[in-house]
Amino acid sequence: MLKTKEIKAVAREALLGRYGTVIGAYFVSFFLTFLCGLLSFAGLYAAFGDPEAKVVVRIVGRGTNVLKVIRSDPKYSFIAVLVAFALLFVAFVVAAWLDYGRKKLMLELCRKDGTGLSTLFWCFKNSAHPWKLVAVKFLTAFFTAVPLIFPLFTWMIALATGHFKEVTTSGTGWFNALAIVTILTEFIMIGLSLAMVYSDVVILDAPETEIMDAIGTSFRIMRGKKIKLLWTAAISFLFWYIAMEIVPVAALWIMPYVEATVMVFYLNISGEVQETAAYQRIYGVPEAEMTAEEPAAAPAAEMPVQAAEIPAEIIPAAEVTEVTEIPAQPEGKEGEDHEMPVL
């Protein structure tokens, strides 16, 4: 496990020289989300807005006021309501897919160097199981909001027992009880959100993963690491958050830094961070990986091969050469020279 400063160092290294791609993704995502939101707002206003509003009159001018036509017929009003909610749903889905596309881009950026702006639209492909991501977003939001039942239950008990006024009066026992329950609920909700924070990332990593399996995997890998993530991704960035409030444009650099840190934390707890290009540029290739890439080969001189150990049947017949026996020289007397024959 890397320390907080090491995780942030890997995140900075992953973003180095790639801020253009990340900021471009932010701009495209914001523009498309704003456009979808504008269309959904227009649909809602067409269904529920005031046709006599000054803004509508100025836009319409002398033309036909469509809103008055819609209000004049219940059938048109019903269709307008359906269209408004359909546009609202489309805006939510598109915003969610773009948000997940940005997370996918950041994950690939932290894992390897090669990624582009097209990754922003990764969720618009069927192979990415985009509806599964939408379901994960709904389920995690639902599970996080479940503890709200405790303060609501406290309100209902106070109402049923006739102590509703005491709940709203500071210093009373019911008021203090509700405050304690609310604080505990907030802590539980923070813990649940931290436990499920990587549910969508698990599906981004492996789209075939089932929804509940992804949530369970996030719970498992975050066991005992919630406080560290809270410190790494929130408390350690407190100065940067203050700077972002003072200079809003700094969010274009600070928010990618925070998101990259969250993704590097995921790679760290899943055991992949040492394989990333950013980590290896800072700390080098891990020793185990170098050993695996360079297997030891013993020199030929240290592994002598004896002829007796080679089976005769594996020697090709063509390579077997007949050896002619050289006759031994006759033994002479000691000191006697033998004259070599002249050919």
DSSP code per residue over 63-120: S--HHHHHHH-HHHHHHHHHHHHHHHHHHHHHHHHHHHHHHHHHHHHHH-S---GGGG
Confidence grade of residue 342 (pLDDT, cut at 50, 70, 90)? very low
Task: State how far the Cα of 276 lies from the Cα of 272, in Å rounded to an integer.
Answer: 7
Average pLDDT over residues 255-274: 91
How far is it, in rounded angstroms, from Cα 108 to Cα 263? 9
* Whole-number pLDDT of residue 334: 47
Distance, CA of 151 to CA of 180 (rounded, Å):
9
pLDDT band at 307 (very low <50, low <70, confident <90, very high): very low
**Integer Cα distance of 101 and 90 in angstroms:** 16
- Whether pTM > 0.75 for this model: the answer is no
Residue 300 has pLDDT above 50, yes or no: no
CA–CA separation, 133 and 122 (whole Å): 12
The residue-averaged pLDDT of 134-139 equals 90
The least confident of 43-47, 116-120, 153-157 is 43-47
pLDDT reading at 78 higher than 50? yes
C-alpha angle 222-224-228 in degrees, rounded to nearest 5: 80
Instruction: Return the top range by mean pLDDT from 49-58, 122-131, 196-205, 270-279.
Output: 196-205
Q: What is the reported pLDDT for 327? A: 53
Indicate if the pLDDT at residue 4 is higher than 80: yes
Mean pLDDT computed over every residue of the chain: 79
- pLDDT of res. 158: 81
**Interacting residues of 208 by C-beta distance below 8 A, sequence separation 6+:** 129
Q: What is the pLDDT of residues 232-248, one digit of tens each?
A: 999 999 999 999 999 99
Among 33-47, 65-79, 213-227, the range scoring the smallest mean pLDDT is: 65-79
Using the predicted structure, report yes or no on whether residue 80 has a pLDDT greater than 90.
no
Q: What is the pLDDT of residue 75?
A: 73
Q: What share of the chain is helix, strand, coil (3-state, %, to 5)?
A: 75, 0, 25
Q: What is the DSSP string of 120-174?
A: GGGGGSGGG-HHHHHHHHHHHHHHHHGGGHHHHHHHHHHHHTT-HHHHTSTTSHH
Query: 12-20: long-range contacts at Cβ-Cβ below 8 A with a sequence spacing of 24 or more?
Result: 12/257, 12/260, 13/278, 13/279, 13/281, 13/282, 14/109, 14/110, 14/260, 14/264, 14/276, 14/277, 14/278, 15/109, 15/256, 15/257, 15/260, 18/109, 18/113, 19/253, 19/256
Q: Which residues contact 191 (CB under 8 A, 6 or more apart)?
A: 226
Per-residue pLDDT for 43 more than 70? Answer: yes
Separation CA 14–CA 258 (nearest Å): 12
What is the model's pLDDT at position 295? 53
Distance, CA of 32 to chain centre:
21
Instruction: Calculate what percentage of the chain has a pLDDT beyond 70.
Output: 73
Mean per-residue pLDDT for 181-209? 92
Which strand (E) or helix (H) includes residue 324? none
Q: Dump pLDDT digits (tens) for 47-64.
A: 776 665 554 545 445 445
Count, residues in the chain: 343
Average pLDDT of the residues in 68-85: 73
The Cα-based distances of 62 to 53, 59, 130, 177, 292 in angstroms read: 14, 9, 45, 60, 78
Least confident of 104-108, 113-117, 156-160, 259-263: 113-117
pLDDT band at 145 (very low <50, low <70, confident <90, very high): very high
Helix (H, G, I), strand (E, B) or coil at 264: helix
What the block records as the tokens of 267 is 């790679």
Q: Residue 302: count other Cβ atoms within 10 Å of its Cβ.
A: 6
Instruction: Return the higher-pLDDT residue of 149 and 164.
Output: 149
Neighbours of 94 (CB within 10 A): 20
CA distance 73 to 211: 44
Q: Calculate the alpha carbon distances from 20 to 126, 252, 253 in Å.
A: 28, 10, 10
**pLDDT of amino acid 318:** 47
